[in-house]
């Protein structure tokens, strides 16, 4: 029943009381255009219906909504960008409470310390504008402009400047966070340090960040932007090109000012790269002689212009519009890079596979550099030793075909079968089909995270199908049932949707 129902459920009565009559504060499944205007799923191939969607204005609202959920035995997930590949930002399961942070966009810059206090509802492009307007400052983050800071800065946040400055979460110095009992906490390296450790890499499992305090850098000066595209008749023709690119990103002495992507698609391949410096400095690194097709570059002297270019480039592969798609991902250490035989087998597989769509992408991107300077056990983010990520996507038009799912999964299988160890992956590139997501996402930090979860969220209130579980729980078990209205109960799926 909606907010105006004559017989609201206990949860609805509680949420309505927090909203106190404010419009656009809460919606329920019977709200007009609920799925379109409120749930706003990113991946249309995975249907999810939250028990309600709330839009808080401040930390006190978030606290109230969390208390309502806890009192009514309903799971909670926050959403700030809408770009979770598996819709985990809207709970990931039917019957969860989604807390949409889009209205929390406070911003303040301390011009003495150049630390910024930032609300989690900022989209990355809006944040860049505010950083630029307040002292021409910058932070490291990804290239998709519509991603929300709240999820990005609590799971990793990787982009072209990350090899130089570290990940987005490496900029976080302190957070204000609402924990499972509804308390508004401060967490940093000295205060609630265990919670701070968990927030920096596994935030969705531990609370809802309502404010970030982040270090910033001066905007870079000159930036060399490189793009090279190649058409091909057979994917196997790309094997030596990919090998050359992989050799470049495997170099342990690769200049940290340099970042690059290798993107395969139906019609060819695109290699893009960014170097933070002048053309002369770029030439001096020797990279132009090593990158496939040689030096094809342009110098951009405007930081905001390079961000716009990156955003335009990202939009070519992953539209901001909601679509039905499948996504798989892998992460690689130095000793896990693809051999020539694996590359050849992978390209032959792509040539022969029934792809089921003309819109598919296989994206490899470089990582490491400054990210690797931080110890693996310093934050929940467990991929400090990785130097390359892989993401495979298949988009359904108008619907996602099983052959497309099988094609993208086959890419992962061909790579996994050629390695001695099971490859991990970055939780920011959500892989909904992965067999052991918690271990794959958090690796050696998982046991510690489970203990922190048992302390701060023993009842697993902050939950999605792949979130950290409390160590005290024998098994994930079914999610609790939430009531939708007077006497009406919606059955909630078990934690594994796949």
Tell me the pLDDT of the chain (498 aa) as tens digits: 454 444 579 999 999 999 999 999 999 999 999 999 999 999 999 999 999 999 999 999 999 999 999 999 999 999 987 678 888 888 888 999 999 999 999 999 999 999 999 999 999 999 999 999 999 999 999 988 889 999 999 999 999 999 999 999 999 999 999 999 999 999 999 999 999 999 999 999 999 999 999 999 999 989 998 888 888 889 999 999 999 999 999 999 999 999 999 999 998 899 999 999 999 999 999 999 999 986 666 777 788 877 777 766 665 556 677 899 999 999 999 999 999 999 999 999 999 999 999 999 999 999 999 999 999 999 999 999 999 999 999 999 889 999 999 999 999 999 999 987 789 999 999 999 998 999 999 999 999 999 999 999 999 999 999 999 999 643 333 333 333 332 232 222 222 221
**pTM higher than 0.75, yes or no?**
yes
Q: State which fold the 223-437 domain adopts.
A: Vanillyl-alcohol Oxidase; Chain A, domain 3 (3.40.462)
CATH code reported for the domain at 107-218: 3.30.465.10
| Closest to 82 measured CA to CA, from 38, 33, 125, 41 | 41
* Direct distance between the N- and C-terminal alpha carbons of the chain, in angstroms, rounded to an integer: 29
C-alpha distances (whole Å) from 175 to each of 34, 125, 197, 209, 364 are 31, 21, 11, 6, 32
Enumerate the domain spans of the chain.
107-218, 223-437
In this structure, are residues 159 and 143 in contact, taking their beta carbons and an 8 Å threshold?
yes
Phi, psi of 76 (to 5 degrees): -135, 140
The vertex-19 CA angle with 182 and 95, nearest 5°, equals 65
Q: State how far the Cα of 15 lies from the Cα of 10, in Å rounded to an integer.
A: 9
Q: What is the DSSP string of 50-112?
A: -SEEE--SSHHHHHHHHHHHHHTT--EEEESSS--TT-GGGTSSTTPEEEE-TT---EEEETT
> How would you class 464 by CB atoms within 10 Å of its CB: exposed for 0-12, middle for 13-18, buried for 19 or more?
buried
Distances (CA, A) of 52 to 98, 147, 235, 481: 6, 22, 46, 13
């Amino acid at each position: 029943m909606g907010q105006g129902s004559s017989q609201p459920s206990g949860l609805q009565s509680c949420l309505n009381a927090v909203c106190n009559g404010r419009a656009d504060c809460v919606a329920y499944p019977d709200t007009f255009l609920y799925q379109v205007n409120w749930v706003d799923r990113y991946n249309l191939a995975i249907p999810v219906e939250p028990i309600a969607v709330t839009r808080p204005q401040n930390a006190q609202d978030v606290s109230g909504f969390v208390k309502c959920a806890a009192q009514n035995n309903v799971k909670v997930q926050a959403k700030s960008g809408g770009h979770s590949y598996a819709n985990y930002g809207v709970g990931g399961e039917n019957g969860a409470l989604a807390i949409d942070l889009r209205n929390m966009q406070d911003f303040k810059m301390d011009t003495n310390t150049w630390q910024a206090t930032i609300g989690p509802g900022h989209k990355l492009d809006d944040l860049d504008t505010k950083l630029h307007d307040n002292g021409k400052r910058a932070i490291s983050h990804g290239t998709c402009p519509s991603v929300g800071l709240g999820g990005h800065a609590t799971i990793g946040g990787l982009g072209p400047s990350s090899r130089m400055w570290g990940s987005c979460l490496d900029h976080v110095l302190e957070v204000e966070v609402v924990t499972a009992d509804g308390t508004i906490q401060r967490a940093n390296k000295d205060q609630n340090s265990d919670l701070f450790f968990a927030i920096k890499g596994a935030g969705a499992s531990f609370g809802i960040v309502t404010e970030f305090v982040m270090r910033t850098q001066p905007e870079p000066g000159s930036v060399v932007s490189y793009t090279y595209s190649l058409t091909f008749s057979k994917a196997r023709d790309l094997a030596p090109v990919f090998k050359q690119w992989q050799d470049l990103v495997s170099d342990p002495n690769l200049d940290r000012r340099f970042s690059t992507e290798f993107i395969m698609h139906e019609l060819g391949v695109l290699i893009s790269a960014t170097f933070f410096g002048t053309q002369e400095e770029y030439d001096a690194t020797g990279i132009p002689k090593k990158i496939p097709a040689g030096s094809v570059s342009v110098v951009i002297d405007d930081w905001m212009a390079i961000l716009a270019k990156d955003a335009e480039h990202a939009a070519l592969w992953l539209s901001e519009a909601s679509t039905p798609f499948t996504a798989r991902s892998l992460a690689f250490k130095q000793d896990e890079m693809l051999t020539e035989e694996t590359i050849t087998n992978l390209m032959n597989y792509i040539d022969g596979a029934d792809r089921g769509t003309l819109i598919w992408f296989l994206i490899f991107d470089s990582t490491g550099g400054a990210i690797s300077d931080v110890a693996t056990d310093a934050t929940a983010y467990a991929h400090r030793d990785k130097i390359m990520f892989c993401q495979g996507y298949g988009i359904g038009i108008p619907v996602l075909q099983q052959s497309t799912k099988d094609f993208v999964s086959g890419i992962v299988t061909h790579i996994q079968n050629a390695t001695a160890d099971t490859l991990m992956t970055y939780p920011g590139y959500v892989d909904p089909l992965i067999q052991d997501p918690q271990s794959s996402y958090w690796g050696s930090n998982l046991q510690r995270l489970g203990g922190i979860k048992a302390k701060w969220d023993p009842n697993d209130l902050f939950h999605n199908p792949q979130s950290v579980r409390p160590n005290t729980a024998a098994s994930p078990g079914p999610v609790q049932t939430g009531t939708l209205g007077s006497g009406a109960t919606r059955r909630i799926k078990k934690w594994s949707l796949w």
